[in-house]
Structure 1
């Protein structure tokens, strides 16, 4: 691989298949992220509608 610092050799020690986590295992995390996104969007709309005098 050539970088700004010169050429570098990368040695592959192991090759494995990537395993995706099961939906049941990550479902709570996905739900939490979605709730956070909805809250952020709601706060944004409130700030846009707010009238500061």
Structure 2
């Protein structure tokens, strides 16, 4: 089984930033919604970033 290290690193950074900022975003529903939006944005931007970097 092969792993895509670019995707692993990308989502690790996104989740790390989100978890660092999450307590300041209010209640659980707001954090879940923000997490969903960040996940969608990250999944959308990753292919573009990989193409830009030539990976």
Which TM-score bucket, shorter chain as reference?
A: 0.3 to 0.5
**Greater Rg by CA:** 1
Question: TM-score, normalised on structure 1?
Answer: 0.39
User: Which has the bigger relative contact order, CA under 8 A and spacing at least 6?
Assistant: 2
Higher strand share: 1
Q: Taking structure 2 as the reference length, what is the TM-score of the superposition?
A: 0.38
